[in-house]
Amino acid sequence: MLTLDNLCKSYGSKPVLQQLSLALEPGEVYGLLGPNGAGKTTTINIICGLLKADAGAVYLNGQPANARTKRQIGIVPQSNLLYTSLSCRDNLAFLGRLYGLSRQECQRRIEVCLESVNLLDKRHTPVERLSGGMQRRLSLAAAMLHKPQLVILDEPTTGLDIEARQEVWQLIRQLKDMGVTVLLTSHLFDEVERLCQRIGILRQGQIVAEGSLEALRQTIPAHEIVTLDTPDPDSALRRGQQLGYAHRYYGGELAFWVPDQPDLKELIARFDGVPLESIARHPVKLEHVYLEVTRQPTDDQPIPPEMLSSVG
């Protein structure tokens, strides 16, 4: 549905996108991840026609992106672009006029969209009196008003409490069930794990890993990740090296990539002689993959070549 073909963009002498290519299938939820400065916002702005790429092309349903194809896109930006003194209905009515909807069609779509986000009973309520979660839901209704085929959600649940986050998650699932293609950016790994069929990770303006959650997990050569709390980390590191385990630090915790799945008794035995205050086992998660492919290589821990390529 959406294809980015070798997009390049620089600001002055600083390259931001470097031959960025990706393709979204109709009706899928695609997660685009990357650290600040990786190029996510620039990519979104180019898709929406707010920026012009230096090279490369954007296609929507096989057609080069232009003023006409922009009507196929809806966007929920990081910050709600709503008129807080206006009611929910009046906000959508204003946008409907901008989209060129007829008065009758606009009224019908307002009712449908407000009902879909459970805000029909708030249609006459000023936006300033809505909770943060309700405002995000209204932003999603605004993005859907003109029946777009592609919806871009830029950090849609940042700052929301867990109840509001789950409401937005349910609405995203509804979009997928309706056949709408969704491009989602987020710094919340659990959100991406729950919602996205495929995930692309940006680093320095390029996709460095892409695939389903399970495929991305397979890029780390470990069955599980074991974290240790020990007063003698040097001893633990030496033992891990003897066992052939790669090590990392996650949030300051010493962790080892364990290629098999020993029971807890066997695992503790492998670190016999190392003073342990605690030992914990974790599945390989998206955050582990993300940290691996976005970190800067060092002399003692180079990024494995297999981590720097897309996976199926």
Rg (CA), the chain: 23
Q: Which residues of 49-67 are buried (b: 16+ CB within 10 A; e: fewer)?
A: eebebeebebebeeeebee
Residues 75-102 have a mean pLDDT of 94
| Residue 297 confidence (pLDDT) | 58
- Residue 99 in tokens: 């989209």
Q: Where in the chain is the domain with CATH 3.40.50.300?
A: 2-216
**pLDDT-wise least confident of 221-225, 253-257, 303-307:** 303-307
> Could you give phi then psi for residue 20, rounded to 5 degrees?
-75, 125
pTM for the whole structure: 0.89
Residues 20-36 have a mean pLDDT of 96
User: What class is the 221-283 domain?
Assistant: alpha beta
Checking if the pLDDT of 309 tops 60, the result is no
130: left (phi over 0), alpha (psi -120 to 50) or beta: beta
| Residue 80 confidence (pLDDT) | 87
Q: Where in the chain is the domain with CATH 3.30.70?
A: 221-283
What does the pLDDT look like over 175-187, one tens digit per residue? 999 999 999 999 9
| Residue 308 confidence (pLDDT) | 44
Q: Which residues of 269-288 are buried (b: 16+ CB within 10 A; e: fewer)?
A: ebbeebeeeebeeeebbbeb
Q: Angle of helix 103-116 relative to helix 132-144, nearest 10 degrees?
A: 140
Is residue 31 helix, strand or coil?
strand
2-216 topology per CATH: Rossmann fold (3.40.50)
Checking if the pLDDT of 292 tops 50, the result is yes
| Residue 158 confidence (pLDDT) | 85
The mean pLDDT of the chain is 92
Checking if the pLDDT of 257 tops 80, the result is yes
| Residue 67 confidence (pLDDT) | 83
| Among 90, 36, 67, residue whose Cα is nearest residue 202 | 36
| Residue 69 confidence (pLDDT) | 87
Higher-confidence residue of 293 and 306: namely 293
- Residue 241 in tokens: 């090296």
What does the pLDDT look like over 67-79, one tens digit per residue? 888 889 999 998 8
**pLDDT-wise least confident of 25-29, 68-72, 184-188, 290-294:** 68-72
Residues 288-296 have a mean pLDDT of 90
What is the identity of the amino acid at 150?
Answer: L
| Among 204, 82, 93, residue whose Cα is nearest residue 145 | 93
